[in-house]
Amino acid sequence: MSVKIRPYTKRGRSGWEVDILLKMPNGDVHRERVKSPVTSKSGSKFWGEQREAEILRRGPVPTLPEKKSVPTLKEFEPKFMSYSETNNKPSTVCAKKVALRVHLLPYFGDMALDRITPAEIEPFKALKLKEGQKPKSINNHLTILRKLLNLAAEWGVVGHAPRVKPLRVDAQAVNFLTFEEEARFLAATPAEWQPMVFVALKTGLRVGELLALKWEDVDLVSCRIVVRRTLWQDQEGSPKGGRNREVPLSDGALSVLKAHQAATRLKSPYVFCDAMGKRLTHNQVTPLVPRICTKAGLPKRLTFHDLRHTFASHLVMRGVTLRAVQELLGHAGISMTLRYAHLSPNVTRDAVRLLDQKTASKFGDMLETAH
């Protein structure tokens, strides 16, 4: 009789394999290899010996492991949200809650996680398109579903996570002010809002980053802003992407901030605040840009976020590389920045012209010599 224990690894999950080899009373040799239900080596050895005794007593009746039930999406959702609340920003957690409650749970809630396959996901996409949802919004919901299924696979709740294929999304043009429109826009901006609006146009900061900006983040000597936080639903947290970034100040932005600091008599830690020194809110600044557009006689109805688009667009139109624009905007990847690529149509032409700089004159001399 023999019971051996070996390490067991399958699909990333490890444990112990019990190898039982024994001779039965009738002379037959019985061998059985099973994964131990016990996690420790010594415990697996003991379990194997008990299993061996049972085989001798009752015969080689196979012991089938009890099939583990897979939870439904509705049952796993609380664990997923608990994980998200620990690892994500409040704004991300809120977006997940809404997407799950409104879109994912009504459709997939009663399905076991291992039953959510590409064949089940495709009808969901078709249904949401029929309901009038935008492809980009549907992709956001699919991203949350993918992360939930990946977490279930990582925790061993399911064997593997299915591929969640997003919908194709056409590139959308961004709204921004032309150079001429920017001048009209600034001229129509009320005096009390001019510092904030000008800094937004010349730094590309998100509106939440502007609202949470403190004087300790502004270095008027080295001419830079360090973006350390953002505001969302009256909560300050880390900026998008979870990391700080530095944004250099142009001469114009530096002059405006110096004048704004000198004119501010309030002892407020915030760069942009109300008359009482309190931090501004999204509700206070949201209607500002559309009103200025109307006052300036512009046909466009832009939002505060479009001032960020204006900053990026003007940089690209002035010949700044997309990689530099990516760093200034704080984009995690270049894909988001590529939306501005069409604004620099001469970049590729100028690039190929560089090939001729060292060879054109020599080639011309060769032609003259040949003739």
Q: How far apart are CA 212 and CA 228, in angstroms?
A: 9
Q: What is the domain class of 179-348 according to CATH?
A: mainly alpha
Q: Which two tokens stand for residue 318?
A: 């002035």
Q: Residue 337, SS3?
A: helix
Selecting among 224, 300, 305, 339, the annotated active-site residue is: 305
Active site residue 6: no
CATH architecture of 73-154: Orthogonal Bundle (1.10)
Beta bridge partners of 239: none
**Mean pLDDT for the stretch of residues 327-339:** 84
Encoding tokens for residue 182?
């920017």
pLDDT, residue 28, reads 81
Active site residue 309: no
Q: Considering the candidates 206, 245, 279, 309, report the single residue annotated as catalytic.
A: 206
Which of these is catalytic: 103, 240, 279, 309? Answer: 240
Q: What's the mean pLDDT in 333-349?
A: 72
pLDDT band at 346; cut points 50, 70, 90 = low
Annotated catalytic residue within 89, 308, 309, 314: 308
> Token digits for 187?
């001229």
pTM: 0.64
Q: What was the pLDDT predicted at 43? A: 80
Query: Identity (one letter) of the amino acid at 146?
Result: R
* pLDDT band of 18, cuts 50, 70, 90: confident
Cβ atoms of 184 and 296 closer than 8 Å: yes
Q: Tens of pLDDT along 60-78? A: 555 545 556 899 999 999 9
Q: Is 107 marked active-site?
A: no
308 as an active site residue: the answer is yes
Strands 224-227 and 245-248: antiparallel
pLDDT at res. 359: 52
**142-199, pLDDT tens digit by residue?**
999 999 999 999 998 998 899 999 999 876 778 899 999 999 999 999 999 999 999 9
Greater confidence, 20 or 139?
139
Q: How far apart, in Å, are the Cα atoms of 180 and each of 183, 188, 304?
A: 5, 13, 18
> Any idea where the domains of the chain sit in the sequence?
2-58, 73-154, 179-348
